[in-house]
A and B are shown apart, each in its own frame.
Chain A
Amino acid sequence: MKDSLAVRRSKLQIFATHAVLILISAAILFPLIWMVFVSMKPKMEIFSSPYSLIPSSPGLDNFSTAWGYAPFGKYYLNTIVIVFGLLAIQLVTVTMAAFAFARLKFPGKDILFMLFLTQLMITAQSTIYPNYMTISRLRLLDTRIGVMLPYMTSAMGIFLLRQAFMVIPSSLEDAARIDGCSTLQMIWHVFIAQVKPSLVAFSIMSVTSHWNEFLWPLLVTESTYSRPLTVGLTVFAQQAEGGAEWGLLMAATLIVSLPLLIAFIFFQKMFVESFVSSGVKG
């Protein structure tokens, strides 16, 4: 940001600003810190000194116990297959549709585009019952493909990529046409390279939202065979709740959230840009 006269601040203002920020960010950050420390506390200590922040004898026992207690390895595999399988399919369907909406003229274009945009608001959560019946009739309950099927295209992605395709100069397109490229070849060789930032932004959105998805997989999956991490965690919690195994539970919660947290720490800027593009601008 450009240094403007008006945003220069007095020492007192700077101090007050930091005070407010520290207060709010501490309040928001604290649950994460608490989860990390509790997950490293032995069971006895959680009850004998529940409010001490730093464990007196920290260990990773809770993690190994939790990992052995529930098939988190299988849950991980399911989540990864679902999340990245979906992403691969979405990238194809979304790119194709976005290209048509951005660069081709055809009858009914505006109406079709409007139809897609309603999907931005009518989210998958509000259609759970009929979609469950569909998956059931297709005999895909308790399969990973059943979890994935309703999400194989994304209005958000089509919207984002259409914006990106629209600003590409048509001289590039003409040049490719003269070279004799077919439409698909042209999308692949000319256009994809130009819209990489938007593809990255969409991919981050997609991976985050499907990694975190809960209600739909809860309904569609019935066993370890297809359950993703988020659902596995609540199943685990229901089993552990009787014994109030908080250390185990926090360890399991961390197991589920860690990959995204680490990715976020390393690629903070990309995440932030991705989420901005998903919001107001969309």
Chain B
Amino acid sequence: MTISKKLRTWGAAYLLILPSFIFLVAFTFYPIAYSVVTSLDAASGGIGFGNYSKMLSSTEFQQAIRNNIVYAFFSTVPAVLIGLLLAIVLNTKMKGKGFYRFAVFYPTILPIATASMIWVFLLSQSIGLVNHLLGIMGLPSKIDWVNTSPYAMVSIIIVYIWKYSGYYMLLFLSGLQSIDSSLYDEAYLEGASGWERLRMITLPLLSPTTFFVVLIAIVNSFQAVDQIYVMTKGGPHNSTNVLLYYIYEYGFVYWEPEIASSASTLLFAFLLILTFFYWYGGQRKVNYER
């Protein structure tokens, strides 16, 4: 290639990327830089960690972190397990497969804001169906779900599981379909039971998919804010306040940008660590498949 032709290619490439790059810088990288600078009070000349120590020592923040960990764990684990179970069961020829897939996947495409609205109704204390069903089963049935602790946390966890199980099922299904079915035949001929085939073939070969699904599930649980805004507003007594809702509150309710920026910076750091795992795992996955 001649030099001028090479330069022309470079120019074309940069021009093609430029529009996207401008938006990337303005709405992803500038916000990160803004948050870091604001949180460190760096605009005024010096650098200080005052905002961080103030935030970290406040019970509200500690509670939000604790809540977020509880929320992440108790929503991710059931949703991923249900997704896995559904995928294993649906990965066969069977009648009604399309119906089942619709029935478990449709919440993925619903807005969380509207989904939460349905659940507020289902969970209402006086005429909610959930309390009614609990009553039929002889369980406590006067629960004020979204307004008392710990039920408010249970409520937003239910919405998460309901919303995402079908999506994780789909991701597992595509992972399952890449497993070579002759492996199962061989195991079958050697006399392996269904359970053994699951344990010795399916789960190990599915592990790269599982790894990605769990990461995506954790990220989702740290993005939770819509259902909290609609259902609980972080209450009662801060019991459903999580990191992102905390950022929203300090940014837009209390108007304390320094605190909101400090919390955002921590969230970015956490997400970047997850991204690193994502890529590290991705690298391994590629080698594994070769």
- A residues in contact (CB < 8 Å) with B: 1-7, 9, 13-14, 17-18, 20-21, 24-26, 28-29, 31-32, 34-35, 38, 46-47, 50-51, 92-94, 96-97, 99-101, 104-107, 109, 112, 115-134, 149-153, 155, 158, 183, 208, 211-215, 218-219, 229-231, 233-234, 237, 246, 249-250, 253, 256-257, 260-261, 264-265, 268, 271-272, 275-276, 279-281
Whole-angstrom distance from the CB of B255 to the nearest CB of chain A? 10
17 extra interface residue pairs, beta carbon distance < 8 Å, beyond A183-B12, A272-B170: A7-B92, A18-B96, A28-B106, A31-B122, A34-B129, A100-B13, A106-B9, A121-B271, A121-B275, A122-B272, A153-B20, A155-B24, A250-B117, A268-B102, A275-B170, A276-B170, A276-B171
**Interface flag for B268 (CB, 8 Å):** yes
A-B contact count (CB 8 A): 292
Q: Are B182 and A97 in contact (CB under 8 A)?
A: no
Segment of B25-33, B68-76, B148-156 engaged in the interface with chain A = B25-33
CA gap between A92 and B122 in the complex, in Å: 43
CA gap between A30 and B110 in the complex, in Å: 14
Q: Known contacts being A130-B35, A131-B27, A153-B20, is A51 close to B170, with CB within 8 Å? A: no
- List of B residues within 8 angstroms of A208 by Cβ: 109
| Contact bitstring B1-30, A, C-beta under 8 A = 1, else 0 | 000000001101110110111011011111
- List of A residues within 8 angstroms of B219 by Cβ: 121, 123
Contact with B24, one of A116, A233, A234, A279 (Cβ below 8 angstroms): A116
| Contact bitstring B134-160, A, C-beta under 8 A = 1, else 0 | 000000000000000000000000000
In this complex, what residue of A is CB-closest to B25?
A115
Q: Are B27 and A249 in contact (CB under 8 A)?
A: no
| Contact bitstring B253-290, A, C-beta under 8 A = 1, else 0 | 00001001100100110011011001000000000000
| A-B pairs with beta carbons under 8 Å apart, 27 shown | A1-B181, A6-B197, A9-B92, A17-B94, A18-B96, A25-B103, A26-B103, A34-B122, A46-B127, A51-B129, A96-B20, A97-B21, A99-B16, A100-B13, A109-B13, A126-B223, A126-B264, A129-B261, A129-B264, A134-B31, A211-B111, A219-B252, A246-B121, A253-B118, A257-B110, A268-B98, A279-B174
Q: How many residues of B contact A (CB 8 A)?
A: 103
In B80-100, the 8 Å CB interface with A consists of 82, 85-86, 89-94, 96, 98-100
**Interface flag for B61 (CB, 8 Å):** no
**Interface flag for B175 (CB, 8 Å):** yes
Q: Known contacts being A4-B184, A249-B117, is A97 close to B16, with CB within 8 Å? A: yes
CA gap between A28 and B109 in the complex, in Å: 13
Q: Are A249 and B121 in contact (CB under 8 A)?
A: yes
CA gap between A164 and B272 in the complex, in Å: 26
Q: Known contacts being A130-B35, A183-B12, A215-B226, is A5 close to B189, with CB within 8 Å? A: yes
- List of B residues within 8 angstroms of A9 by Cβ: 92
Contact with A150, one of B23, B82, B187 (Cβ below 8 angstroms): B23
CA gap between A121 and B244 in the complex, in Å: 14
In this complex, what residue of B is CB-closest to A264?
B109
In B182-203, the 8 Å CB interface with A consists of 182, 184-185, 187-189, 194, 197
Q: Are B267 and A126 in contact (CB under 8 A)?
A: yes
Whole-angstrom distance from the CB of A157 to the nearest CB of chain B? 9
